[in-house]
Amino acid sequence: MGTVRTSLFLFFILLIPSLIKGQSSFLKGKVLTEEVHDQDHSSSHEPVYIPLPGAYVRWAHDVASTTVSDAFGFFKIRKADAGDTLLVSMTGYESVGWIYGGEAYLEIPMESGVALGAAEVVEQRASTELSLLSPLDVQSLNRKELAKAACCNLSEAFETNASVDASFTDAVTGTRQIRMLGLDGKYSQIQVDNLPGPRGLGVVKGLTFIPGDWVNEIHISKGAGTATQGYESITGQINVALKNPETADPLHTNLYANAAGRFEFNSVSKHQVSRRWSTAVLLHGLTNSQLNDRNADGFLDTPMQQNYVARNEWKFIGDRGIRGEYAITGLQMNSLAGQTRAFQNGLSWSDRFKTMQESTEGWSAMTAIDRMEISAKTGFVFPDAEWRSIGTQWSFYNHRHNHRFGSSFYEGHEVFFRGNVLYAGILGNTNHSFTTGATFLFNSFDEDLKFDWNDTLAFEANVQREERVPGVFFEYTWTGNERWSVIAGARYDQHNLFGAFFSPRLHARWSVTENVSWKLAAGRGYRTPNPFMEQLGTWASQRDWYWGFESTVKPEIATNVGTNLTAKFRLNYREATLTLDAYSTQFQNKLVVDLDQSSQGIYLYNLTGESFANTAQAEFNWDLHRRWDVRLAYRWVNAHTDRIDGNPTQDPFVSRHRGFSQISYGSPFNDREGQWRADATLQWIGAQRLPLTNENPDPFNRTDMAPDFFQLNAQLTRQFSPEFSIYLGVENALNYKQDRPIIGADYGDNVVAEADFNQYFDASLVYGPIFGRMMYAGLRWGILPPAKEK
Amino acid sequence: MKHIILGSACLFFALIAEAQNKVQIEFGVSGVCGMCEERIEQALDVPGVIMADWNVESKRLTVAYKTKKISEDQIHQLVADVGHDTDKVKAKDEVYANIHGCCKYREGASCSGSEGHDDHDDH
């Protein structure tokens, strides 16, 4: 009897689609949930419903019909008979059985389930995730990973990552720059919420504008990026997803202090303003007014700083697939560095900063950055065809960077505007999807330079450039097969100064087995150089700039080809991942930075000959034990650039070999979800070539190769509850310090004559830590989203 | 660097040497969703259990454990103690009554989906 009914039932199901041909065979609908209010007084109001993404929708009789509601709560399911039951379920919500009455469109409200406190599902994802399915070689770092190194901004957040290096630009300003695939960070496209991030004149300093506590996730994509976001990606894309009104907790605050006298405050708060609008406010403040000179060379080891950054974002979620994100960011950064004797005048910080605009007693440096960013993103998903969408992205920034290093002055002003319109659709079915669109980019640079060589001799220059670049792009994604997927894209941009830029990009993934995937990436990228800001560290030296300025400026062009093999397996019954990758970047043109032609100059010229960077990396992640995670990595880099006059071809400040090991521990949670966490990262940085200084007399010369060294960072976190935790950490625990980092400083071997200082001073030859061991401590306190209660 | 390589090599050999008295078993455990998975796997966070992985789709639990420290029966009991029926041990009604509404597998609650959607990008 039972079987007869089942087969009859099945017969009907099979028949239904053919019976209702001619009219739409799909039921469309939307899953909603009642908005949870922070305040009690709103409970008397009428309930407000918001879309619920990620809910499972299926017919009660057919498990195979299961579908998932999209980001806007929409779902689409093959129609069934009136009277059939539609089941809608989601973790943490009461399942709904909806008797279907034959409608074409349904709105299904869901109520959140009984709160069980600790039983609530916590996303238990590995803190660093490598996707086996995306054709892009993307590594995602979530908040858990970022919390492993509490310090502080984006340039420091990569300390626990094996793919991106962070190193100092010079020995005085404490500025860090990143390096990816053996090349400077300027060759990576850094984005914030998928919009242009640190670039242009902010390419080096820009990383310090992004506090780690503001970050929700970082996606690191090695190799050529996608074509939709511009031509600037050469070695990879780093997309920083900030906490926004959707992902932020109602309140998050962080206080940080370190032994170098740096204090930081970060906060993120969000507020649901109305049914459709929500907002988030992000604040950052940093101050450091301590004079540190641990190596007694007469120079501050860390700069004195005062930085403020504020951001406000508004998010709009409309009923019918309209979505918008609008943000404004303002920042001000001031820093002072140099010889301690320049600061021994007992002035307050603000007075001191004012007087530092002009030369001081001793050598000193001051930097002032002002920046404002505005961005707007609006997206529209067609309610009757969620595979079709239109998006617009507008971003604008106004960036001013003024500095004085000794008697060299720089004033830079950059204005950037980009509009990007994207249309996504499918070709026939969802196995063939595409994104196409157009971009307009405006970028103007105005840089004034002044070098006072002595009282009577000075050199002034002005560099101006205005770029206007319209472009179009098309990107096709094929996901026709579980084992294969391909993204093939290209963009064509017409640059007003440099003519046509054609950037093809290709990514392919092959799943060799369910747990092994092999990826290929190839692409070409372009960028225009701004060497005065890209070589920020060189300002901290007496080197003269030798560059043909506008007459010789040409775009940098490079092709990147790479491959990645990722295998997931079990080792001793526990999950492990092995990743092997190899990338090669070949430059067709490059603005070569030559620090070897003379120890008193920096020579910049266009590439003649070849320049490439080849890298190979092996990374092993192992979930050693329920509470222990291990990561081991090794990287080999060969970065080569032909320079004039037979100067060394190996790129300086790049270690050919680098080792990385990390171990993390998390104790079991107690009743209040308290936990102990400990992380330790040990890195081995192999020998690096240093620019030649052998023609300088003693003691103004250094070795041609820097020694290899170890760096150990460790952190202990005590989470008292998910709302409150404190941490204590140490950077450079082995107390490794670069030997005599500043050429021209007095390391007790002799008194440096002023003439010698003026000729040989160079604080830009930095390969390792200056400050030595540094302790830090901080706390995080916040308010979590209200528990779901019935 | 040499020391690290040597150290990690020693670690691996130590693990291999120890592997003899370890067993991996698989059995059915009733449950519904990711919340159940959390609860089941959490219940086996005890000495002797090396790995516990419950598959939300197949409703099967894979456990690797050290035979000297814990027995198969004890593993079944631990799972039943948090409210989930196993192939061998049925959870007590009063324990079952306390589990979350959406996990009530005996009443046919269903969150029929799998948890395998993590890899999708959502931008």
Q: What is the pLDDT of residues A604-617, one digit of tens each?
A: 999 999 999 999 99
Q: What is the pLDDT of residue A57?
A: 82
- Rounded mean pLDDT of chain A? 86
Of B34, B50, B123, the CB nearest to A121: B34
Residues of A in contact with B54 (CB under 8 A): none
Of A56, A71, A120, the CB nearest to B111: A56
Q: What is the dihedral of CA B88, B93, B97, B103, to 10 degrees?
A: 20
pLDDT at B112 over 70: no
Confidence of residue A776 (pLDDT cuts 50, 70, 90): very high
Q: What is the pLDDT of residue B119?
A: 34
Residues of A in contact with B116 (CB under 8 A): none
Tell me what percent of the residues of chain A surpass a pLDDT of 70.
89
Q: What is the pLDDT of residue A80?
A: 77
> Is B122 in the A-facing interface, judged by CB distances under 8 Å?
yes
> Domain B21-107 is of which CATH architecture?
2-Layer Sandwich (3.30)
Q: Indicate yes or no: CB of B51 within 8 angstroms of CB of A120.
A: no
**d(C-alpha A78, C-alpha A76), whole Å:** 7
Of A90, A93, A134, the CB nearest to B119: A134
Which residue(s) pair with A338 in the sheet? A364
Q: What is the pLDDT of residue A4?
A: 47
Residues belonging to chain A: 790
Tell me how close the Cα of A23 comes to any Cα of chain B, in angstroms. Answer: 29
Strand A544-546 relative to strand A601-606: parallel, antiparallel, unpaired? parallel
CB neighbour burial string for A592-603, b if at least 16 within 10 angstroms, e if fewer:
bbbbbbbbbbbb
Element (H, E) at A561: strand A556-571
Q: Indicate yes or no: CB of B112 within 8 angstroms of CB of A132.
A: no
Q: Are A233 and A189 in contact (CB under 8 A)?
A: yes
pLDDT, tens digit (0-9, with 9 covering 90-100), for A692-708:
999 999 889 999 999 99
Confidence of residue A18 (pLDDT cuts 50, 70, 90): very low
Q: What sign for the dihedral angle of Cα A181, A186, A191, A196?
A: negative
pLDDT at A2 over 80: no
What one-character DSSP code corresponds to residue A707?
A: P
A477-A478-A481 Cα angle (round to 5):
150
Side-chain half-sphere CA neighbours of A751 within 13 A: 2
Confidence of residue A6 (pLDDT cuts 50, 70, 90): very low
Q: Indicate yes or no: CB of B8 within 8 angstroms of CB of A632.
A: yes
Amino acid identity of residue A751, one-letter, is V
Which residue(s) pair with A680 in the sheet? A663, A714
Q: Indicate yes or no: CB of A668 within 8 angstroms of CB of B101.
A: no
pLDDT at A262 over 70: yes
pLDDT, tens digit (0-9, with 9 covering 90-100), for A294-350:
888 999 999 999 999 999 999 998 877 788 999 999 999 999 999 988 887 777 777
pLDDT, tens digit (0-9, with 9 covering 90-100), for A187-217:
999 999 989 999 999 999 998 889 989 999 8
Q: What is the pLDDT of residue B14?
A: 54
pLDDT, tens digit (0-9, with 9 covering 90-100), for A622-649:
999 889 999 999 999 999 999 999 999 9
Closest CA to A785 of A54, A71, A122: A122
In a mutational test of the B interface, the residue from A75, A91, A387 whose CB has the highest number of chain B CBs within 10 Å is: A91
Structure tokens at A679: 């992380």
For residues B103-123, average pLDDT: 52
If you write DSSP's letter for every residue of A584-600 in order, what string do you get?
Answer: EEEEEE-EEEESSS-TT
Global pTM reads 0.80
A759 Ramachandran zone, left/alpha/beta (phi>0; psi -120 to 50): alpha
Q: What is the pLDDT of residue A35?
A: 61
What one-character DSSP code corresponds to residue A112?
A: B
Q: What is the pLDDT of residue A116?
A: 26
**Which superfamily does CATH assign the domain made up of A27-114 to?**
Carboxypeptidase-like, regulatory domain (2.60.40.1120)
Question: Which long-range contacts link A392-398 to residues 24+ away (Cβ below 8 Å)?
Answer: A392/A419, A392/A420, A392/A421, A392/A422, A393/A194, A393/A195, A393/A418, A393/A419, A393/A420, A393/A421, A393/A422, A394/A418, A394/A419, A394/A420, A395/A195, A395/A196, A397/A371, A397/A372, A397/A373, A398/A371, A398/A372
Amino acid identity of residue A329, one-letter, is T
Residues of B in contact with A131 (CB under 8 A): 119
Fold of the domain built from segment(s) A241-783: Maltoporin; Chain A (2.40.170)
Q: What is the pLDDT of residue A24?
A: 58
**d(C-alpha A709, C-alpha A731), whole Å:** 14
A705-A707-A708 Cα angle (round to 5):
125
Interface of B with A in 56-95 (CB under 8 A): 64
Structure tokens at A313: 């974002």
pLDDT at A7 over 60: no
Greatest CA separation for chain B: 59
The three-class DSSP label of residue A564 is strand
Closest chain B residue to the Cα of A92, Cα to Cα = B102
Question: Out of A166-170, A652-656, B26-30, B84-88, which region has the weakest mean confidence (pLDDT)?
Answer: A166-170
> Is B112 in the A-facing interface, judged by CB distances under 8 Å?
yes
Closest chain A residue to the Cα of B24, Cα to Cα = A573
pLDDT, tens digit (0-9, with 9 covering 90-100), for A287-310:
998 889 988 899 999 999 999 999
Q: Name, in order, each residue with C-beta under 8 angstroms of A125's C-beta and a sequence gap of 6 or more.
A: A142, B118
pLDDT higher for A325 or A33? A325
pLDDT at A771 over 50: yes
Residues of A in contact with B102 (CB under 8 A): 89, 91-95, 113
For residues A470-477, average pLDDT: 95
pLDDT at A242 over 60: yes
Amino acid identity of residue A693, one-letter, is T
For residues A363-371, average pLDDT: 94
Of B4, B120, B123, the CB nearest to A659: B4
**d(C-alpha A217, C-alpha A306), whole Å:** 26
The three-class DSSP label of residue A301 is coil
Q: What is the pLDDT of residue A319?
A: 77
Q: What is the dihedral of CA A130, A135, A137, A140, to 10 degrees?
A: -40
Please report, for chain B, the start and end positions of each structural domain, with discontinuous segments joined by +.
Answer: 21-107
Please report, for chain A, the start and end positions of each structural domain, with discontinuous segments joined by +.
Answer: 27-114, 130-240, 241-783
Chain A residues touching chain B at CB-CB below 8 Å: 54, 56, 58, 63, 66, 68, 71, 87, 89-95, 113-114, 116, 119-122, 124-125, 129, 131-134, 194, 570, 572-574, 625-626, 632, 659, 661, 668, 682, 684
Residues of B in contact with A379 (CB under 8 A): none
CB neighbour burial string for A725-750, b if at least 16 within 10 angstroms, e if fewer:
bebebbbbbeebbbebbbbbbbeeee
Q: What is the pLDDT of residue A323?
A: 86
pLDDT at A182 over 80: yes
pLDDT higher for A667 or A103? A667
* E strands present in A275-318: 277-288, 304-317
Which residue(s) pair with A632 in the sheet? A620, A661
pLDDT, tens digit (0-9, with 9 covering 90-100), for B86-98:
999 999 999 998 8
Q: What is the pLDDT of residue A125?
A: 37
For residues A268-277, average pLDDT: 92
Amino acid identity of residue B75, one-letter, is I
Tell me how close the Cα of A41 comes to any Cα of chain B, in angstroms. Answer: 28
pLDDT at B118 over 50: no
Q: Are A404 and A366 in contact (CB under 8 A)?
A: yes
Closest chain B residue to the Cα of A379, Cα to Cα = B123
Question: Out of A71-80, A305-314, A385-394, A614-623, which region has the weakest mean confidence (pLDDT)?
Answer: A71-80
Of A56, A133, A625, the CB nearest to B112: A56
Q: Indicate yes or no: CB of A573 within 8 angstroms of CB of B117.
A: no
Closest chain A residue to the Cα of B64, Cα to Cα = A573
If you write DSSP's letter for every residue of A122-135 in order, what string do you get?
Answer: P----SEEE-SSSS
Closest CA to A633 of B99, B4, B46, B108: B4
Q: What is the pLDDT of residue A136?
A: 73
Strand A724-731 relative to strand A322-338: parallel, antiparallel, unpaired? unpaired
Tell me how close the Cα of B11 comes to any Cα of chain A, in angstroms. Answer: 11
What one-character DSSP code corresponds to residue A553?
A: -
Amino acid identity of residue A202, one-letter, is G
Q: What is the dihedral of CA A729, A732, A735, A741, to 10 degrees?
A: -140
Which residue(s) pair with A220 in the sheet? A139, A238
Q: Name, in order, each residue with C-beta under 8 angstroms of B115's C-beta and a sequence gap of 6 or more.
A: B34, B37, B56
**Which superfamily does CATH assign the domain made up of A130-240 to?**
TonB-dependent receptor, plug domain (2.170.130.10)
Q: Name, in order, each residue with C-beta under 8 angstroms of B43's C-beta and a sequence gap of 6 or more.
A: B78, B79, B81, B82, B84
Residues of A in contact with B57 (CB under 8 A): none
Q: What is the dihedral of CA A169, A589, A219, A319, to 10 degrees?
A: 120
pLDDT at B113 over 70: no
Closest chain B residue to the Cα of A708, Cα to Cα = B1
For residues B56-64, average pLDDT: 91
Q: What is the pLDDT of residue B116?
A: 35
Q: Name, in order, each residue with C-beta under 8 angstroms of A581's C-beta and a sequence gap of 6 or more.
A: A137, A222, A562, A563, A564, A565, A615, A616, A617
Q: How many CB pairs under 8 A join A and B?
A: 86
Residues of B in contact with A90 (CB under 8 A): 111
Confidence of residue B33 (pLDDT cuts 50, 70, 90): confident
Of B112, B120, B121, the CB nearest to A89: B112
Confidence of residue A681 (pLDDT cuts 50, 70, 90): very high
Tell me how close the Cα of B35 comes to any Cα of chain A, in angstroms. Answer: 5
* E strands present in A607-697: 611-625, 628-641, 657-666, 675-685, 688-689
pLDDT higher for A155 or A331? A331
Q: What is the pLDDT of residue A263?
A: 95
Tell me how close the Cα of A720 comes to any Cα of chain B, in angstroms. Answer: 20
Of A68, A116, A684, the CB nearest to B1: A684
Q: Name, in order, each residue with C-beta under 8 angstroms of B71's C-beta and a sequence gap of 6 or more.
A: none
Question: Out of A357-361, A392-396, A778-782, B77-81, which region has the weakest mean confidence (pLDDT)?
Answer: A357-361
pLDDT at A355 over 70: yes
Q: What is the pLDDT of residue A197?
A: 93
Which residue(s) pair with A462 in the sheet? A448
Q: What is the pLDDT of residue A151?
A: 64
**d(C-alpha B61, C-alpha A560), whole Å:** 44
Q: What is the pLDDT of residue A416?
A: 98
